[in-house]
Structure 1
Amino acid sequence: MKVKRICYACDLVDNPELIQEYKRYHSKENAWPEITESIKKAGILDMEIYILANRLFMIMEVDETFSPERKQMMDAANPKVQEWEKLMWQFQQAPPGAKDGEKWLPMEQIYKLI
């Protein structure tokens, strides 16, 4: 199985209370199991999200079945994912360069040690 790493960035509304609430939603004990399941079904083997101030950085390890387009179609057909996305929009905001409705944007790799 071939594994690929993909990285995305997103911004949060610059409000300390909202950022803390966003972190709570993403803690292991508060993660929605339906969202975790949808992530795995899309071919995402592992996912980590990091934060610096109000900037989020997501690292995904994906298998050969993953594609952003396929994940988008799966999410659109999943009512629980749509509920989650609507909820997250109160915390998230589009980063610079995003088109209307975009929030997580793929990052360009500019350096690799090995």
Structure 2
Amino acid sequence: MRHCLALDLHDDPELIAAYEEYHRQVWPEVLAHLRAQGVRELEIFRLGTRMVMVMDTDDAVFDAARMAEAERTDARLRAWEELMWSFQKATPWTPEGAKWTPMQPIFRLTDA
């Protein structure tokens, strides 16, 4: 399944550069976690401060609630999430307490 989520960054060029540098060297535990959760591919795109994450998952393995629970309970994953949150902020449409927010699909070429 493909998931598309949005998030914003703080509007600070130095923070944005640091955020991008972290993503050139993602912690090995984070990469292992994503793969163990059934994430087959994950890409993050940025335009200004807006980010879009496209994530392809294995439906037989992926469970968003289980993934979020691991990110809350594993100390290393929690440290990564807290570090990333120092660069990130919720979009204006993000529910209270949420981070990456699912986007609604509106068009697919193969369905047309």
- Assess same fold via TM > 0.5: yes
**What do the CA deviations read for 1:32-66 (whole angstroms, capped 9, x no partner)?**
00000111111101100010000111011100121
Is the 2:71–2:81 Cα contact (8 Å) retained in structure 1?
A: no
Is the 2:41–2:55 Cα contact (8 Å) retained in structure 1?
A: yes
Counterpart of 1:69 in structure 2 is 65
* Structure 2: distance between partners of 1:26 and 1:101: 23
What is the CA-CA distance between 1:78 and the residue it aligns to? 1.0
What is the CA-CA distance between 1:101 and the residue it aligns to? 2.3
> What is the TM-score normalised by the length of structure 2?
0.93
What is the CA-CA distance between 1:98 and the residue it aligns to? 1.6
* Structure 2: distance between partners of 1:21 and 1:79: 22
Residue in structure 1 matching 2:7, options 10, 16, 25:
10
Say which structure is richer in helix. Answer: 2
Q: Between the two proteins, what is the percent identity of the paired residues?
A: 39
Runs of 4+ in 1 over 3 A off after TM superposition: none
* Structure 1: distance between partners of 2:91 and 2:35: 25
Is the 1:48–1:58 Cα contact (8 Å) retained in structure 2?
A: yes
> What is the TM-score normalised by the length of structure 1?
0.91
Paired residue secondary structure (2:5): strand
RMSD over aligned Cα, in angstroms?
0.9
Structure 2: unaligned runs, 5 residues or longer: none
Counterpart of 2:74 in structure 1 is 78
